Amino acid sequence: MKNNKFCPPWWLKNTHIQTILPVMTKVPLVNLQRQRIELDDGDFIDLDWTQKPQPEAPIVLILHGLEGSSESHYARRMLAECGKQGLSVCVHHHRSCSGESNRLARSYHSGDTQDISVTLDLLKHHFPRSPILAVGYSLGGNVLTKYLGEAQSQSLIERAVVVSAPLQLSACAKRLENGFSKVYQSYLIKQLQAKLRVKIEHPKLNKHMPVAMDQVEKLNTFYVFDDKVTAPLHGFKDVHDYYQQASGLPYLISINTPTLVIHAKDDPFMTEAVIPDASQLSSSVTYELHQQGGHVGFINGGLPWKPTYYLEPRIIDFFTESE
């Protein structure tokens, strides 16, 4: 476990400033090209590319968080930083997150490694000599952790970074029911409810949905939403079964890929239950725990209207350590 050199100035010590300011000061979105992958189950996922990689040049793969996309603040910054470095970037969108509702009743969840495996297989097929460097944020970080632990030595990823991941889902769900964290929960739940209503109104999907329209408003916490919607739609017995099977924490010990995990102790989405002890980490995992940083924040300076960040340089440094 390490504590690298992240020390925010006094005006950035607050967890909510660290979490909210990045959303309010997004950098411009770079030009992207979209690629659609048709899945065997009749659904699709979308990839956004900055550019096709040169032969043998690395590909940076971004996995966004809950209800995120290539337009999320952290993705925009990473896209811009990689552009400066001449790196090709591919953003993997979870189902329904690319601006268009997916075709099936099911959607995506925190332990869904099937779709990312499809994307990785595609990248390796078309660019067999290009190393894949993956970064997962929040939910995407949990998915990435689980994939790496499941794949072990068969992982198609060369190096990986996991940022602000809810590695213990049950604890994180409960954390978001308390204090100011309820504001974040409400913001995200409203987006999930809106997507749910679209599917309930869909003539072909309606019969497959586990809840009726008049129940949607009552699904106002992650715990309830996951119990009534996420779990049944994705083959879990209930919310407890889902949280147990999908949480990334138990997979850290099985990771063979060089991986950096970054957490902030003051993350308003989480509790200390997400923090592993040394016995839960494989020798391939470098764990950084910072006192401040919020949720996918880690602002280390600049001005309130133009902050600077610890994350992007740290991620690039880790990706290039072996060079």
Residues whose CB is less than 8 angstroms from the CB of residue 14 and which lie 6 or more positions away in sequence, other chains included: none
Q: State the catalytic residues.
A: 138, 267, 295
Amino acid identity, position 29: L
Going 126 to 130 to 123 to 32, the CA torsion angle's sign is negative
Sheet holding 159-163, edge to edge: 33-38, 44-49, 88-92, 59-63, 132-137, 159-163, 259-264, 285-290
Q: d(Cα 227, Cα 221) in Å, to the nearest integer?
A: 10
Residues whose CB is less than 8 angstroms from the CB of residue 194 and which lie 6 or more positions away in sequence, other chains included: none
DSSP 199: H
If you count them, how many residues does the chain have? 323
**Nearest Cα residue to 110 out of 254, 277, 243:** 243
| 177 exposure class (CB count in 10 Å sphere: 0-12, 13-18, 19+) | middle
For the chain, list the strands marked E by DSSP.
33-38, 44-49, 59-63, 88-92, 132-137, 159-163, 259-264, 285-290, 299-303, 306-309
Per-position DSSP letters for 74-139, written without gaps between them:
HHHHHHHHHHHHT-EEEEEPPTT-SSS--SSS----TT--HHHHHHHHHHHHH-TTSPEEEEEETH
